[in-house]
Structure 1
Amino acid sequence: MRSLPRIVIEPLVRAALLEDLGRAGDLTTDAIIAEDAHATVALVSREPGVVAGTDCARLAWELVDPRIEVRDLLPDGSRVQPGTVIGAASGPARGLLSGERVALNFLGHLSGVATGTATIADAIAHTRARVADTRKTIPGLRALQKHAVKAGGGSNHRFGLDDAVLIKDNHIAVAGGITAAVGRARANVGHLVKIEVEVDSLEQLAELLPLGVDAVLLDNMGPELLREAVSMVAGRLVTEASGRITPATAIPIAEAGVDLISVGWLTHSARVLDIGLDHTGA
């Protein structure tokens, strides 16, 4: 898959390195490791999963010491098993050790996002539905996390408040109803901006359907109610289901016929993929 531009990831990796190195650098490594020592290390998966964040790992070492050579990195989206070598790095040992934690933090976290996404994508592969992320991302890491979702076989929802209209329950309450909210949105956004509206009942859906929006977010509906909603929509809108979805509950929800299943925990509560750094030689 296509990598994120360096200009997007470098400020994040640089900030992580500055946070870790602090005011005095790596006291442990500089005290123990000779300045002219060289080493070779391998990034090794300890468990099954999907890789993401390899460009962040590479850049972490390159920023610490440009003499470090990172090679044979698996592309993001690769499936790995315990013992799979994800990549290798060699060069000045001090730089390798000082950049290790930041490289592994990015790689483990983003691979965890990709792996969690793949768990649901695989579970619903027999349906038309796709798994999507949300805006429930770790501050500052949204672009990286959404890239990792794509690496895991998922789709990206809007990236922020500025690239689509999503009218939710509180917007509807303050605006005075679905019809009023949609009307104001239509009057105030450009013709290329898509509009999605959240509903939590078939009555709200019936009010929404004549309004000509692009998508409907069917919030916290069970599979049977979702089937009715999909039948009512009859292909006129993109249908999206959300609400505390797990890999197990995703299956009947997808089988109800929705187009998308949005899952917040993919990004806000992703479990890291266990990836280790093994010393393999000088």
Structure 2
Amino acid sequence: MIAQTTATDFGKSISRAEKGDVQAYEGAGLDYFHGSNGAPQDYAKALFWFRKAVNNGNSSAAQMLGEMYGRGLGVPQDSELAAKWYRMAAEHGIPFAAESADLFEHITVEGRLEQRRLGELERAFTILNPFQDPAFDASIEDRKQAFAVIQKAAMEGLAGAQSTIAFIYDDPVFADQLGVGFDQSKATEFYLAAAEQHDPDAMVAIAKRYEHGIGFAKDTDKALMWYREVAKLPFNRFSHLTGLAGCKIDFLEDGMLDNRNCETWTSTHQARNGLRDDEPHLDQ
């Protein structure tokens, strides 16, 4: 499990960061970003500490850089750079970063979304993130409205939104909190729609559903088909998913590994939560 910076850490983060404690860099950035724990809101200083955090291996800080570039906070608004840093966070298993990357990539590459809708959708993804920074407070009504915004985008065909809606329907607690009801059938429908657009997380979800007979009749051949598609993804971008897929393929084809080992491999990989040597460091 990826370590999360808690609200109780923030008060000491700036002084620790200024003394060179790399573990405090993200917390210092969050203090300045939110203007919390006695720190003034200062986007330039937040950007400085988030950059240092990313350059020292903290990939969750890349998500905050994505938000700053996406919203133009302390820097000129830049959808391409926002997509870049959200994608970096997503590639290291940061929850819901992939959906934000998807939004900005649609703008910069395909132009499917109007700029005026971007802020609304990005905020909706932020609100529904179950691993949200404790300093961010959203009411149940905010969450329900966010669900409605993302559901609309899902119905319009945005893969990241479809994958998010599927995740919500697939989680009994989350679905109950939003008042939409746990629904495996709807989860499968939205996962499949996203997977057919090559959404990596949705592709894995569909493979697992065929593997275990959830939403579909159990079908090892179709599970293998989807895992093989996942295994084709660029390793340097999706190693946590391609590694899982490779393990699953070995398990299903040869019975060499048990299922628990595959899931453990992914959890261990994500827990490392560090940047690779071949990834660019921040100088923007």
> Which structure has greater strand proportion?
1
> Which structure has greater helix proportion?
2
Q: Is TM > 0.5 for Structure 1 vs Structure 2? A: no
TM-score relative to the length of structure 1:
0.24
Q: Look at both structures and tell me which one has the larger radius of gyration over its CA atoms.
A: 1
Q: Which has the higher contact order (CA 8 A, sep 6+)?
A: 1
